[in-house]
Amino acid sequence: MEPRFHLFDSPTAAKVAKRFYNVSLPLEQSTLPKALRELVALRVGQINGCGFCVDIHGTEAAAAGETAARLNLVAVWSHSTVFTEAERAALALAEEGTRLGDHGVSDATWAAVREHYDDDQVGALVCLVALINAATRMNVIVQNPGGSYEPGMFASLAN
């Protein structure tokens, strides 16, 4: 499968993509664990049907120590026993924050997130869900396929 369009072939889109990556760098410095960030991003990629994002975040989650069982169960996290209550709250926020048109983020989900995460982590989760949703949409629009990602592949985009 070839993408419809390579975003880096457009000078404007390439500049936006580089800045977009750099906007996400503070998330790497947050106290939100990398494995959790990758699970949340993976779930958003699954919901939005982004093979490229599923490849990236599944690969990065595995590199961060996630097990095959947990990676396989992210798509059905609410019907599995391998995620903590805190992880379940973050995954619920990812789902509801991705499917805003359905009913928005419920009060119950928000309360669970607030119970398990401090203010900085909540801010990081909200930004992560918003950013990965934007990324998945760009990649789905151009039909960017998954299957060739290597951990750390985008580090050269920093600044």
Helix (H, G, I), strand (E, B) or coil at 112: helix
56 is written with which tokens? 């990236």
Q: Is residue 23 part of a domain?
A: no
Q: Is residue 25 part of a domain?
A: no
- Counting the structural domains of the chain, the total is 1
11 is written with which tokens? 């000078």
Q: Is residue 42 part of a domain?
A: yes
Domain span holding position 45? 31-146
Q: Is residue 157 part of a domain?
A: no
Q: Is residue 94 part of a domain?
A: yes
User: Tens digit of pLDDT per residue, the chain (159 long)?
Assistant: 889 999 889 999 999 988 988 999 999 999 999 999 999 999 999 999 999 999 999 999 999 999 999 999 999 999 999 999 999 999 999 999 999 999 999 999 999 999 999 999 999 999 999 999 999 999 999 999 999 888 877 777 766
Could you tell me how many residues make up the chain?
159
Q: Is residue 153 part of a domain?
A: no
Spatial distance between the Cα atoms of 97 and 105, rounded to a whole number of angstroms: 6
CATH of the domain at 60: 1.20.1290.10
Q: Is residue 5 part of a domain?
A: no
Could you tell me the CA-to-CA distances from 108 to 45, 75, 99, 111 in Å, in that order? 23, 20, 16, 5
Q: Is residue 26 part of a domain?
A: no
pTM to 2 decimal places: 0.94
Q: Which of 87, 68, 67 is nearest to 77 (CA)?
A: 87
